[in-house]
Amino acid sequence: MTYNHIFKDGLVITKKLLGPRMNWQKTYSALTNKPNIDYYNLGCWLKNRKSLTNHLKDIADLRIDLITSKNKNFLLSEKYHFKSFRPESLYLREVLIYANDLPVMYARTVLPYRYLRGHWSGIKKLKSSPLSEVVYERPSIKRSTFSYAIPTTTSVKKAIPCNALRADIAIARQSSFTYKKESILLSEFFFKALNKFEY
């Protein structure tokens, strides 16, 4: 039996769910204990609410690869965020983000299929373009606060389809974007190579 602890409105809610588990926290300071990682520089990336891909474009050669796998292993937090929807009714977009040919981020965007008929329809048309082209398009789109986690071996294995990259994850963060009461959930996994690029 698996339980997930979700921080919501200052309270910890325990809910039984099925899926890869990650313990998300509202701050990342307690998670920054891995050796040989410059958390000062990484922290600048972690707490920035603007488009990270737009910033990477300014300092490196950016490439975004769309992952076209049939992987449908949703994280517990993704299922909980859309708890009123069945998992089979959720759309998942996965990308690998490269800077100067180094993989620096893996990102997952989840939303109900029915939201693709409204403003969020642009997500399905992005292909290898950054999500920022949709989520920063209108000032009325609101971004939530961040939650952070160190992915467990099990959660990484089930969530990330690329075997060779799983060991290189330093930390992950999660946030949602809401437009007219319809939200999407973005989970970003930061690889150690991101530290090669000063924010």
| Cα torsion angle, 129, 132, 135, 136, sign | negative
pLDDT over threshold 80, residue 61: yes
pLDDT band at 60 (very low <50, low <70, confident <90, very high): very high
Q: Quickly list DSSP for the chain.
A: --EEEEEETTEEEEEE--S-----BS-SGGG---TT--HHHHHHHHT--S-HHHHHHHHS-EEEEE---------HHHHHHTTTS-GGGEEEEEEEEEETTEEEEEEEEEEEGGGGGTGGGGGGG-TTS-THHHHTS-TT-EE---EEE---HHHHHHH---GGGGGGEEEEEEEEEEETTEEEEEEEEEEGGGGGS--
Instruction: State yes or no: pLDDT of 27 exceeds 90.
Output: no
Res 115: pLDDT? 97
Average pLDDT, the chain: 83
- Residue 26, pLDDT above cutoff 90: no
pLDDT at residue 70 greater than cutoff 90: no
Question: What residues does each domain of the chain span?
Answer: 3-196
Identify the pLDDT of residue 68: 73
pLDDT above 60 for 173: yes
Q: What percent of the chain is modeled with pLDDT above 70?
A: 76
**pLDDT tens-digit profile of 28-59?**
776 666 666 777 888 899 999 999 999 999 99
- Beta-carbon contacts of 59 under 8 Å, excluding residues fewer than 6 positions away, are 99, 197, 198
Mean pLDDT confidence for 125-130 = 94
| Mean pLDDT score, 77-91 | 94
In the prediction, which pLDDT does 18 show? 47
Name which residue leads in pLDDT, 165 or 172: 172
How confident is the model over 171-194, as a mean pLDDT? Answer: 95
Give the separation between CA 87 and CA 73, rounded to whole angstroms.
9
Q: In the predicted model, what is the mean pLDDT of residues 110-126?
A: 95
Name the CATH architecture for the domain at 3-196.
3-Layer(aba) Sandwich (3.40)
Least reliable range by pLDDT among 44-48, 94-98, 102-106, 149-153: 149-153
- pLDDT score recorded for residue 135: 97
